[in-house]
Amino acid sequence: MKSKKSLSCKSLTLLLMLLLVVVNNVNGIQKWSQQPRYQEVNPRGTIVLPCVIINKKGECRWERDGTPVGIYPQKYEWASSPENGDCSLRILDANLEYDDGVWQCQVTPSSFSVKDALISEGAELVVRGKQGSVTSQNEICAHDVINETNLN
């Protein structure tokens, strides 16, 4: 039979470990679980840009090409629950003019005295054009070279 002192010491150690885990999660700094990444979408399609934060206490924000983007029903909506750390953005009715570009997810600091603000790497979202309607710069140059050769 084990002594009461041995059991008491093990119980105390287990309790301290549990307390450390709880305190770490309560007072832990914000950190990334998932950041946005390169994606492509068809015109008028819907896509979700992922952004998931562990220990999120700040506010979620999004920007495209360095410009803040607001939440607008039927265009830009939360894909899940920002209160629970999922700041993923659902883009509806994708449009080349408004949605194609480099997107970043941001989270404000958990308080003014904690330096745990987050800014994701830029993630390119490509809104595909209609098939055959996009002409690359290389195709334009090749066309010009052929025309100049035929004229000479």
Report the alpha-carbon distance of residue 54 to residue 36 in Å, rounded.
Answer: 15
The length of the chain is 152
Report the alpha-carbon distance of residue 64 to residue 105 in Å, rounded.
Answer: 9
Q: What are phi and psi of 15, to 5 degrees?
A: -65, -45
Q: Calculate mean pLDDT across residues 148-152.
A: 50
One of 2.60.40.10, 2.60.40.1170, 3.90.170.10, 1.10.1660.10 is the CATH number of 28-128, namely: 2.60.40.10
pLDDT digits 0-9 by tens, 22-52: 444 456 899 999 999 999 999 999 999 999 9
* pLDDT for residue 10 is more than 90: no
List all residues 6 or more positions away from 93 whose beta carbon is below 8 Å from its beta carbon. 44, 46, 74, 75
Domain locations in the chain as residue ranges = 28-128
**What is the reported pLDDT for 34?**
98
Q: Compute the half-sphere exposure of residue 69: CA atoms within 13 Å on the CB side of its CA.
A: 23
**What is the reported pLDDT for 132?**
39
